[in-house]
Amino acid sequence: MTDLYSLSKPMDASRTLALYQQFYDAHGPALPAGRAEDMKFVEHLRENLSGLEGLILDSYGVIGLGSAPIEGITDLFDAARNLDIPIVILTNGASKPATSRVAGYREWGLDIDASQIVSSRDACYQKIKQIQAANPSARFSYLGKNLQPFDDVAGPVYGANGYREDGWDKADYFIFLGAIGWQEEDQKELETALATTGGKLIVGNPDVSAPQVEGFSLEPGFWAMKAADETGCEIIMTGKPFGAAYDIALEALARLTDKPIAPEKVGMVGDSLHTDILGAKSCGLQAILLSSYGLLAGRDILDEAKKAQIYPDIIARYL
């Protein structure tokens, strides 16, 4: 097992970037064409919205860090409203329905409703329904703690009373929605089940880590990549940077405007090259990197883009 999966030291931005690069080099999505000289640098995103007809915003690293909003997010919402630019939030959080986040965003002063929030959970559900349609007898189990299973996808939940007796470790597909409270002993039980059953791992949140005020949390993408490294299991990723999540976000924008918006007229704003920007470029969106917050804060953005060969269209220092 590579040292990238070590649990003896805290996660940081450098290791997060290395894990993304290693995984996507092997599994895709393919890196889109782009050149460093084509990138545009701006100070404030809210002053550079001309030509956009829609915005898709990442949550962590763009709207907030942990329990705190990022400075300038209400100003960005105001600027978009003044230009009649609709906003959709696309988060890789999958433990619970995205609509559960409405109250928290409103507490931060954001005028937003449930129709403007989509998540990788939605893409995960879409994939599971496709699997069920192709194989109605497929067995599912859930991973994670403090999560809400899908109403119409039955399966035992890890850690629930009697989950072993209910056949949790005999599934064809293990659905990883959230990693809050996930520990090394939980991971060992998962890896044993995967090695025994040959089951596949459906990941509702491909993020390796998430920037918090106090450091970086380990997210389902990390644990899934570690499991694949240990067992050789197949991973089915369903959130950013994979296209289905962006398709769902574009559909949400179309419902807000009562008409489809050309992808090149939509700005995807994120803090990660390997999820937000890679996914946006792959789907033909305008890729906008926020550089002063989140994963890449304090790093040499041009150097990181060159190393990853992922070039945003716009790099905004602040919202």
And the tokens for 100?
A: 């559960």
Band (pLDDT 50/70/90 cuts) for residue 65 is confident
Same domain as 208, residue 191 = yes
Among 237, 265, 294, the domain-final residue is 237
4 belongs to a structural domain: no
The mean per-residue pLDDT over the stretch 93-109 comes to 90
Same domain as 213, residue 111 = no
67 belongs to a structural domain: yes
215 belongs to a structural domain: yes
H helices present in the chain, as ranges: 13-27, 73-82, 102-107, 120-134, 184-197, 220-231, 243-257, 278-282, 301-308
Same domain as 285, residue 138 = no
Same domain as 173, residue 261 = no
44 belongs to a structural domain: no
Cα–Cα nearest to 16, from 175, 180, 219, 290: 219
CA gap 202, 269 in Å, rounded: 25
6 belongs to a structural domain: no
Same domain as 264, residue 233 = no
And the tokens for 202?
A: 């459906």
188 belongs to a structural domain: yes
Among 216, 237, 258, the domain-final residue is 237
> Is-contact 65 212, C-beta < 8 A?
yes
Same domain as 168, residue 221 = yes
Same domain as 109, residue 256 = yes
> Is-contact 184 7, C-beta < 8 A?
yes
Distances (CA, A) of 139 to 171, 175, 188, 277: 5, 11, 21, 34
Distances (CA, A) of 176 to 37, 101, 144, 156: 39, 19, 6, 12
Among 222, 237, 252, the domain-final residue is 237
Q: Which residues contact 107 (CB under 8 A, 6 or more apart)?
A: none
Query: Given this model, what pLDDT does residue 211 score?
Result: 74
Q: Which residues contact 64 (CB under 8 A, 6 or more apart)?
A: 70, 73, 108
Q: Residue 279 carries which side chain, given as an amino acid letter?
A: G
And the tokens for 278?
A: 């890679």
Band (pLDDT 50/70/90 cuts) for residue 33 is low
Task: Kindly tell me the burial class for residue 250, based on how many C-beta atoms sit within 10 Å of its own C-beta (0-12, 13-18, 19 or more).
Answer: buried
**Domain count within the chain:** 2
Same domain as 97, residue 113 = yes
Same domain as 226, residue 268 = no
> Is-contact 56 249, C-beta < 8 A?
yes
Same domain as 263, residue 160 = no
> Is-contact 259 220, C-beta < 8 A?
no
For 116-168, how does the pLDDT look when each residue is reduced to its tens digit (9 = 90+)? Answer: 999 999 999 999 999 999 999 999 999 988 899 999 999 999 999 999 999 99
Mean residue pLDDT of the chain comes to 93
Query: Given this model, what pLDDT does residue 212 score?
Result: 75
Same domain as 154, residue 102 = no
The mean per-residue pLDDT over the stretch 240-267 comes to 94
Residue span of the structural domain in which 218 resides: 121-237
1 belongs to a structural domain: no
CATH number of the CATH domain containing 77: 3.40.50.1000
23 belongs to a structural domain: yes
Same domain as 251, residue 103 = yes
